[in-house]
Structure 1
């Protein structure tokens, strides 16, 4: 999913922001630093309920009240990154991007929030909009429901922002993988100088630059691709013939299952893994390489036995695990269990 951050070009702010973006960072401010005076405004009825319950049974009630207070106090510690689901908001271009003279950074949301760079990422909230003050009740004791009511609701007047909010356990500069920034959109009044500054700053990465245009016939903002950079890489992935059979994505580790159509020796397999990781990977990963796509139905099946295990093991030619990154395991499933399964099959 792509999300967007609108920014202005006022001199001091622009220099600071450009430096931050170049270093693959963003700042997660505290609630007190945001521009909505009603941020995190909510009521809670749980304290009175806990007091009532305490008159009947005291076991655990004190601890519950303490935990509730800790959750409420969390507001003063956390950091927030506010993003938008759209790059076409006329109001946001006017308010946050120097009246259409500024720019908008495009992020890949999944790459932005992975925990490989900062361990204090907590939650993603999609903001809902209502003029009613949210009230925490007993039904909100589920952590995600409570966080949504406390930090994921804004008044109707902000609805045009289509906000997605990332919550961090502290307010500070956060680091992200370089590939999280995928594009820059320039307002329809942006100067040529601004565009050239960004092209110079981001020339050695995979990124697209867009110019926002005004379509008077459709009465809407649109984008036009202005320029595209492709990062200079050490390895050439294009010389390999392969197909990704399956991709498993988790918070801390990715698993790729690849059908490699080329026949390679161990050293060339290592070069393929380096090229693949350079092009596609942005967090710790395991690369599983097969010599056929006929075992796709067996990927992720556990436990494998008998003929299925043999078929999978024969096709599984190499694995490169996240550590050590430069080591190739050839035919990792041809182990003692493989021999046992062969012996069992040979009996019939």
Structure 2
């Protein structure tokens, strides 16, 4: 089963950067500050009230723990993917209204070791959970990654899976990690030809999407 990443091609700079990244067998893990949800770093501290009479506990444990979590947030990297490429809203939001494209990676969503990321890196895979309230800080998960697993129910349509790395930026991936690329139904010819050359050089399957005339769905036709 593949995992999908939707991409925009709004500018030549964006497209050139992403093409070079794929040519170099790399993938980008974003810092939290570049994600589009301002609540990514939010966690609930409402249960601190339970410790009002225990100032020493708060000073000696919870405040240092909170500092460690916030420091982790500053260096962590996140790769957001999903398990389908047919979601019309995802095409609209993340692939520039179908003018972009979608990459299918040969990542097994159940076996993290198959990713073969850099040896000095720790990478965790988790399903995003969608709740009405942020995670409670005092739930004290065993790994700080779990503070980044919850999002508002308003994002539920994304069905997001997250690879969470101990560092942001570029990561090496296997040379055969990209299984296919799907072109948006409204992609322009320059972007199409650029991606066609990439897929030809890297021997990647390429599909063109078109809008179905009989349903609210996309049709994918293999062109390479």
TM-score by length of 1: 0.56
The aligned counterpart of 1:346 is: none
The match for 1:156 among 137, 153, 157 is 153
The aligned counterpart of 2:13 is: 12
Specify whether residues 87 and 166 from structure 1 end up closer, same or farther in structure 2 by C-alpha distance, changes over 3 A only. Answer: same
Note the alpha carbon deviations across 1:99-148, whole angstroms, 9 max, x for none. 111111111224896345353233112112223232133xx33425x633
The aligned counterpart of 1:335 is: none
Q: How does 1:166-205 map to 2 (within 5 A)?
A: 166-205=163-202
Given that 1:101 and 1:188 are in contact with CA atoms closer than 8 Å, whether structure 2 keeps it comes out as yes
The aligned counterpart of 2:123 is: 122
**Distance of 1:17 and 1:135 partners within structure 2:** 37
Cα offset, 1:164, TM superposition:
1.1
Secondary structure of the 1:38 match is: coil
**Distance of 1:142 and 1:168 partners within structure 2:** 17
**Distance of 1:113 and 1:135 partners within structure 2:** 32
Larger RCO of the pair (alpha carbons < 8 Å, separation 6+) = 2
Specify whether residues 36 and 63 from structure 1 end up closer, same or farther in structure 2 by C-alpha distance, changes over 3 A only. Answer: closer
Given that 2:179 and 2:205 are in contact with CA atoms closer than 8 Å, whether structure 1 keeps it comes out as yes
Given that 1:117 and 1:177 are in contact with CA atoms closer than 8 Å, whether structure 2 keeps it comes out as no
Aligned residues: 219
The aligned counterpart of 1:247 is: none
**Distance of 1:129 and 1:185 partners within structure 2:** 28
Cα offset, 1:215, TM superposition:
1.9
Instruction: Note the aligned Cα RMSD (angstroms).
Output: 2.7
TM-score by length of 2: 0.83
Specify whether residues 46 and 195 from structure 1 end up closer, same or farther in structure 2 by C-alpha distance, changes over 3 A only. Answer: same
Cα offset, 1:183, TM superposition:
0.6
Given that 2:116 and 2:174 are in contact with CA atoms closer than 8 Å, whether structure 1 keeps it comes out as no
Cα offset, 1:67, TM superposition:
4.2
Note the alpha carbon deviations across 1:290-330, whole angstroms, 9 max, x for none. xxxxxxxxxxxxxxxxxxxxxxxxxxxxxxxxxxxxxxxxx
**Distance of 1:224 and 1:215 partners within structure 2:** 12
Given that 1:47 and 1:65 are in contact with CA atoms closer than 8 Å, whether structure 2 keeps it comes out as no
Note the alpha carbon deviations across 1:25-59, whole angstroms, 9 max, x for none. 1221211111111113111367666786686xx8x
